[in-house]
Amino acid sequence: MTPTQRKQPLLRGIDPELLTRAADTIRVLGHPDRIKIVEVLEASDASVSDIQEKVGLSQPIVSQHLARLRAHGIVDSTRDGQHVIYSLVEPKVEHILRCIRTCDL
């Protein structure tokens, strides 16, 4: 590391509200099952039963995860007859998924 690199500040003046929102989003996505769920929703909107089938979890577990994701503004839902359709509404989640797929973790 050169002396110039050591003198650079660690933070780039990121808005504190943005940092809080980012930390909350990352915290909520910190469960492997939730990552699977948002990955399904990244591809297309889906009902609980569609998600359940694709991720191999029980309906109550999927519903609980969706409720938490919805409470944090990551997904939203609309009613289509008797079905509730969920969609990914937080665009930064797609960036996070891309990073997970391409970064050496």
Could you report the per-residue pLDDT of 23-56, keeping only the tens digit for each?
Answer: 999 999 999 999 999 999 999 999 999 999 999 9
Cβ neighbors of 57 (< 8 A, separation 6 or more) are: 33, 36, 51, 65
Site of tokens 């509200």:
17
In this structure, which amino acid lies at residue 8? Q
Q: Which pLDDT does position 86 carry in this prediction? A: 98
Q: Which pLDDT does position 19 carry in this prediction? A: 85
Say how far apart CA 32 and CA 5 lie, in whole Å.
36
Residues in the chain: 105
Instruction: Using the predicted structure, report yes or no on whether residue 5 has a pLDDT greater than 60.
Output: no
Could you report the per-residue pLDDT of 8-20, keeping only the tens digit for each?
Answer: 555 677 888 888 8
Domain positions in the chain: 16-102
Asked if 63 contacts 55 with a C-beta cutoff of 8 angstroms, the reply is no
Distances (CA, A) of 91 to 25, 72, 104: 11, 13, 22
Say how far apart CA 28 and CA 93 lie, in whole Å.
11
Could you report the per-residue pLDDT of 62-78, keeping only the tens digit for each?
Answer: 999 999 999 999 999 99
Which CATH number does 16-102 carry? 1.10.10.10
